[in-house]
Structure 1
Amino acid sequence: MRALQIAAAGMSAQQTRVEVISNNLANMNTTGYNARRAEFADLHYQQVTRPGTINASDGTIVPTGVQLGLGVRATSVSVILAQGALSSTGGDLDVAIEGDGFLEVTLPDGRAAYTRDGGLKRTGDGLIVTSDGYPVVPNVTIPEDALSISINAEGEIYAFFQDRVEPEFLGQFTLAGFSNPRGLEAIGSNLFVETGASGPSLVNTPGIDGLGTLRQGFLEDSSVDPVKEVTDLIEAQRGYELNSKVITAADQMLSAMVQIR
């Protein structure tokens, strides 16, 4: 009975949706996190009578036909690219990206990765790194005797020293853009890596070629809307229940058929 397989596919789809929603809610306080959305498509249709075929009895054309759908499948879990709210932290190395773009970092294996988490730190040698210790590209080292640093909207980094009037220029952050940022592969720790779907990174100065600018002393909040996620969760739960009722109904019909003598 097709209804059993169709309803099972529907339950599996709603379960996938719940898993995506749960991940969004778990990351509602993750810096720079963008919410995900599960997307679905209907499965193949069994053509009992194709539309446009000629009726054998009187030669008329069948206007709609009989097409029986075989269920639903998950097609993708896409990233909803939305700017999160900026929260003031006052930290010298806290940098939020206003607009498009990613900070580039270097992974231990030498690969490039990209992040919107601007909660940066400094090592004992003064090197600017992420919270996990990955160096930010280009490498910038803060002198040990620097009293404070300043990062402007274009990513220029200046250090201030005691008994000096003029700050010292240390380097400049760059941002990486992609023709299809939704095609980036998430690897955890707020990091993404380039794929064939995302296209190559286009690195430039903040504020150039459509890239965003930097705000020192701020961090980008998660773009997850808890109210919407809970509403979607209720909808997914009800969808799961409805598909389970279809299985119950199909089972009762099969039971009635078996009992026919």
Structure 2
Amino acid sequence: MDKSLYIGMSGAKQNMLAQQAHANNLANVNTTGFKKDFAQARSMPVFGEHHPTRAYAMTERPGTDFTPGSLQQTGRDLDVAVEGDGWLAVQNQQGEEVLTRSGSLQVDVNGIVRLTSGEAVLGNGGPVALPPYERLLVGADGTISIKPVGGPADQLVEVDRLKLVNPPQDALMKGDDGFIRRKPGEALDGPEAPDADARVVSGYLESSNVNAVEEMIANLELSRQFEMQVKVMQRADQNAESTARLLQNL
């Protein structure tokens, strides 16, 4: 295969992969608590039994931007936003403890507090379960208090506390499911320890930290680069045809 054709093909493929990363960020611009992914490309020399005279492109996702998004007021009792550093611990469908900044909560028919996507929200001793109530309050430290059905108007009963954790950011990664967990080399033997200093704000949700304009500009730049790589492939094909015609005339 002509080397220039392979260079163009390799570059076009990596441009498409980078576009996917930015397109995913853009698609989640309105997703509560979403953290955007970084994308970068670097040149990789081809090693082997020859001199590394050619370099090819390689796109990679070096990490996730954990910068907090802005807080948006909703006024809903079961909407909570983590203020500052920290994460809300939830249990996914596989029973694994994962972390999120999405605090749009709901109560299912069994009284279990869940994310809108279905994951159970963890408390002091497991998933948070609420008895029937008329009023609910979430304190700044994550304490959940309710006014029981039929109870006095001024009676509030503490039932549980949201599990808020704050592991080191450099030990975290975002999985394919969108949830945050520890990197394989940083995994703990047990669950994360609660952080008493973590705080939440009730009646608010954290918006995505994606800048739509930046993501659109990045996609436009990658589209231009993709067109350039396709032109390289076309020129390589034209050169091959010209060479074949010259050889036929010899």
TM-score after normalising by structure 1? 0.81
Answer whether contact 1:25 1:224 (CA < 8 A) is retained.
yes
Q: Which amino acid aligns with 1:90?
A: G
Unaligned runs of 5+ in 2: none
Q: Which amino acid aligns with 1:122?
A: V
Q: CA deviation at 1:159?
A: 1.8
Structure 2 residue aligned with 1:99: 84
Say whether residues 1:248 and 2:230 are aligned partners. Answer: no
Q: CA deviation at 1:193?
A: 4.3
Structure 1 residue aligned with 2:24: 23
Structure 1 residue aligned with 2:129: 141
Distance (whole Å) between structure 2 residues aligned to residue 9 and residue 109 of structure 1 = 37
Say whether residues 1:196 and 2:184 are aligned partners. Answer: yes
Say whether residues 1:185 and 2:175 are aligned partners. Answer: yes
With over 3 angstroms needed to count, the CA separation of the structure-2 counterparts of 1:101 and 1:69, relative to structure 1, is: farther
Q: CA deviation at 1:257?
A: 2.2
> SS at 1:215's partner residue?
strand
Q: Percent identity?
A: 24
Distance (whole Å) between structure 2 residues aligned to residue 170 and residue 39 of structure 1 = 46
Q: Which amino acid aligns with 1:136?
A: V
Structure 1 residue aligned with 2:225: 239
Answer whether contact 1:94 1:216 (CA < 8 A) is retained.
yes
Unaligned runs of 5+ in 1: 51-66
After superposition, where does 1:60-75 map in structure 2 within 5 Å? Answer: 68-75=53-60
With over 3 angstroms needed to count, the CA separation of the structure-2 counterparts of 1:234 and 1:168, relative to structure 1, is: same
Structure 1 residue aligned with 2:214: 228
Alignment RMSD: 2.5
Answer whether contact 2:173 2:181 (CA < 8 A) is retained.
no
With over 3 angstroms needed to count, the CA separation of the structure-2 counterparts of 1:45 and 1:120, relative to structure 1, is: same
Structure 1 residue aligned with 2:243: 257
Distance (whole Å) between structure 1 residues aligned to residue 233 and residue 175 of structure 2 = 36
With over 3 angstroms needed to count, the CA separation of the structure-2 counterparts of 1:31 and 1:256, relative to structure 1, is: same
Q: Which of 214, 220, 226 is the equivalent residue of 2:200?
A: 214
Distance (whole Å) between structure 2 residues aligned to residue 184 and residue 176 of structure 1 = 16
Q: CA deviation at 1:36?
A: 1.5
Distance (whole Å) between structure 2 residues aligned to residue 25 and residue 206 of structure 1 = 34
Distance (whole Å) between structure 2 residues aligned to residue 29 and residue 198 of structure 1 = 30
Which stretches of structure 1, 4 residues or longer, exceed 6 Å deviation after superposition? Answer: 46-50
With over 3 angstroms needed to count, the CA separation of the structure-2 counterparts of 1:106 and 1:182, relative to structure 1, is: closer
> SS at 2:14's partner residue?
helix
Q: Deviations over 1:207-231 (max 9, x none)?
A: 2xxxx42010011111111101110
Q: Which amino acid aligns with 1:234?
A: L
The structure that is helix-richer by fraction is 2
Structure 1 or 2, whichever has the larger Rg, is 1
With over 3 angstroms needed to count, the CA separation of the structure-2 counterparts of 1:108 and 1:227, relative to structure 1, is: closer
